[in-house]
A and B are shown apart, each in its own frame.
Chain A
Amino acid sequence: MTGHVQILPGTLDLLILKSVSLGPLHGYGILLRIEQISGRVLLIEQGALYPALFRLVSQGMLRAKWGTSANNRRAKFYELTPAGHKRLLRDVESWKQRVAAVSSALRAQAGEV
């Protein structure tokens, strides 16, 4: 699948939290939303979503509730908890810092070192 970039490990949690912060979703819905908001650039192994979701639930970042999906299926919906919201903000911040650091490192010219 050319044109798609493998997501870095550890960023899956961040993407999940961000997706869910825009509104409660079930697992498939989160997958669609990640693809959507990343402009279909990022590629995830679909099944890997679920262990990550379960982990976030047991860490208290997400809350799970059973409900009915758009096509009348029984589905488990995930929404952000207050702790999850705090975690999202924190992770976004540290992501920005990391990106800035790497970018500035990559900008280094031959003459600067």
Chain B
Amino acid sequence: MKFWIALRNFASTLFHQPGNDSDLEQELKSHIETRAEELENTGLPRDEAVRRAHIEFGRYERFKEECRQERGGTWFETLRQDLRYGLRMFRRSITFTAVAVFTLSLGIGASTAIFSVVQGVILSPLSYRDPDRLVMVWLRNPKAHYISMSLPDFEEWRRQDAGFQQMSGVRWYHFNLTNPGTPEHVAAYEISAGFFNMLGANLHLGREFLPEEDRPGGARVAIINDHLWKNRFSASPQAIGKAITLDGVDYTIVGVLPANFRFLDDIEVYIPLEQGDPMFNDRRFPGVLCIARLKPGVSISQAQSRISAVQQNLNNQFPDTDHGLSTDVVPLKPLIIGDVKGMLLLIMGAVGIVLLITCANIASLLLARSTMRAQEFALRAALGASNGRLVRQLVTESLLLAMGGGMLGVAVAKLGLHLLLTMGIGNLPRSENIGLNGPVLLFTLIITIIVGILFALGPAFKSLAFNLQSTLKQGSRGNTSAFQYAQKTLVVLQMALTLVLLVSAGLLFRTIHDLQAVNPGFDSESLITFKVGISPAATRTAAAEQAAYHQFMERIRSIAGVQSADITNLVPLSRLNNLAPFWVGSQAATPVAEAPRLLLYWTGPDYLRTMKIPLLQGRFFTPEDNANSAHVIVIDSALAHAYFSNTNPIGQIVNINLWGEAQIIGVAGHIKHSGLGDSAGSNQPQAYAPLQQLPENAARTFYRTLSVVVRSPLKPADIIPAIKAAVYNAGNDQPVYEVRTMQEIVSDSMASQRLPMTLLGAFATLALVLATVGIYGVISYSMAQRVQEIGVRMALGAGKWAIFRMVLVQGLRLALTGIVIGAAVALVFTRAISSFSRLLYGVGTGDPVTFLSVSFVLVSVALLACYIPARRAMQTDPMIALRRE
């Protein structure tokens, strides 16, 4: 009931505002008039009657104001007053306003930019229909590692109802795209019919694959993405029905995807799953990822148990390939987000700290200002303003300041996002969702309001605690000691938080430094790698492909400046794998699923020399180790240590799955294949086998994914054009792609540390600047308050340098307190972060070198900030100081 009354009052005020005020006047005036008439009737003269009536009425203005207040809905009116007043105050002290708004905008802007990244990558829902019902069905091998599945198994899963509304398989592949346009190598997905429908993604043009196309021998159809459509078909609607040539075969385009579609990667071409290379349609070859949509009402665990049963049957039916396999059903989102959660949370924490520091800075400024305004508030209170009114004024002013900072902050955030893009944010998964969208702007609004209200609280409490009379008498000195304490606390807080940021940045810096010093096992300098798309004409048989490679390798080797070159299926640190089950000895002693795996490199004879991997024992391959001679293999030191620790491995036999027996002819050094900091991979056995001895059926597929490595002391800009020319001369429809220097690959492998390090470094610098300004402000102000005391000290005999020291000591004490507190917080913070993500390498979370050097930096900065106030203090003339009020 009360609510409706208040609402009605409010509405009536908004709508009848001017009328109400004149009505009020009229009511009160007519009361006085009536009384005056009555008095006149008793015989008093008119003037006397009116005067008497006014006196009897009482303080007219005050009662009128009280009536206005009681009316309710004057909230709106007082807001307007507060706003006008606040703006006037800000215009008067424009420097303060500018500094405060600018600092705030930095803090709010940085937080908004980072939050938009977190929101885009992690928080926002997947852009598919009902994304919570989408799951990924994984297969797990006996060691519980997640693996993809074979096509026959997938088909079996689909045939048996497993509680899924729809299942789709996705397999990665790649093609040489030769028509229309220039030859290029493209990544492709082989997908089941109905895949896009399952996701809930609509095609921009055309249609999905039909079930009759999704079978071996079905019509050759393809769906392309927006990028390819714009590049090669000029975004023409007539693209449907045209053909693209993939690996020499024409595929008819039936559909075009919309511009914002992305599934796991920016894939340009999609073809039906069952039309993939038949060699892989064997139960022994994994590669198919299974994405599914749950039936309504079915939970993940229910689906889990049903698909488990299906797989169990398959395990029993096909013990050779499917023994010991299990399944796991997981929501789709984490798969797409990948591994970046830890790093993003670290950055979010860091920017939160920056925001806190800017708030502390501004709160300090506001406190200083509020002390000067104490007189003003005391006066207003004496004139009748209620406490509530004064607090409301303060809150309005703070919110005004905060809003200014917030709006400028949005502009800062936009700038910040541009900067982040140059730092590689675009490589994060789901980065297409990052932007200043609705939820992000709401976040900005919320923190702006919170910040605004927080700022009002401090000065508000201070103002209300003032004793009215003593304040009016004292002038602007006010309650100095409490104020000083608050300011000092803020500075200590700033120092502590800055230390946390500096330590985090420092730890990451040392990590990258240590990682760069790690020996990867090969010489990464002067190495270039690239891939070549062999012309379709040469890919008919393995022998033809070998010949094609042989041809351009000869040309490459004859280029001046090339020291050595060769081909390999795997480039270290490139995140690709080729794990082959193996057995020591000639028999396959255990089932495939349980056999240990080695990382198998298929290379040419010059590979070891090109990479400068040390040969520890025996020999590497020669051109004589070819298809007609016995299988040979070179193992690495890890394999030798694990399986041949007591014997000489040279001459021993190992059995590689799908290849057969091979004799060990040499031992090479171990390589850091999966990451410079990856200690788990240091026991991963590795081995090298001659490309020439690849079995015929595998050769065709392997040859399509080969990388060429070239060692040359020349600069990449000089050597690469020569390489391209050599390859094109051997066949002008052979694109050279993925050209990278080994240094770039090594550096990219540290990207997950480099981005946070850069950001943290930037934040830490910003924090350092703010903290310096903070200390300077506090010390200056404190010294200004203590001018008399300094005068007394000097008069009593203290020397100039003693005063100078006194100021520095005060600043030092603040800094050290902040450092101690900050160190404690930093220890907890870094430990929390490193438990989240494996970002650190070579340094512990409590690394003393980092902590000490950072503390040293903070102390120096604090001393620097105190220098000017100290000099000013030491130059005080005691005579003038003592005479000061």
Contacts and interface: CB of A to CB of B under 8 A. Distances in A.
Interface residues of B, number: 28
B58 interface: yes
Given A27-B31, A46-B31, A54-B67, A60 B2 contact: yes
B27 interface: yes
Contacts of A50: 27-28, 31, 63, 66-67
B71 A75 contact: no
A51 B58 contact: no
Interface of A is mostly: helix
A75 B27 contact: yes
B702 interface: no
Interface in A42-63: 45-48, 50-51, 54-55, 58-60
Contacts of A51: 63, 66-67, 69-70
Interface residues of A, number: 22
A54 B70 contact: yes
Interface string B30-71: 110111010000000000000000001111101100110111
A12 B56 CA distance: 17
A103 to B, nearest CB: 32
B28 A58 contact: no
Among A46, A48, A71, chain B packs the most CB atoms within 10 A around the CB of A46
Interface string B64-85: 0011011110000000000000
Contacts of B37: 71
Contact of B72 (A27, A58, A75): A58
B1 interface: yes
A48 B28 CA distance: 11
B59 A71 contact: no
A4 interface: no
A85 interface: no
Contact of A28 (B31, B60, B71): B31
Contacts of A74: 26, 30
Contacts of B71: 54, 58
Nearest to B4: A60
Given A60-B1, A60-B5, A75-B27, A45 B58 contact: yes
A60 B9 CA distance: 10
A96 B801 CA distance: 78
A69 B35 CA distance: 14
Contacts of A75: 27, 30
Nearest to A52: B70
A108 to B, nearest CB: 39
Contacts of A28: 30-31, 34-35
Contacts of B67: 50-51, 54
A46 B31 CA distance: 9
21 contacts: A27-B27, A28-B35, A31-B31, A46-B31, A46-B56, A47-B59, A50-B31, A50-B67, A51-B66, A54-B66, A54-B67, A54-B70, A55-B70, A58-B70, A58-B72, A69-B30, A71-B37, A73-B33, A74-B26, A74-B30, A76-B23
Given A47-B63, A69-B34, 4 more contacts: A46-B56, A47-B58, A58-B70, A73-B34
Interface of A: 27-28, 31, 45-48, 50-51, 54-55, 58-60, 66, 69, 71, 73-76, 83
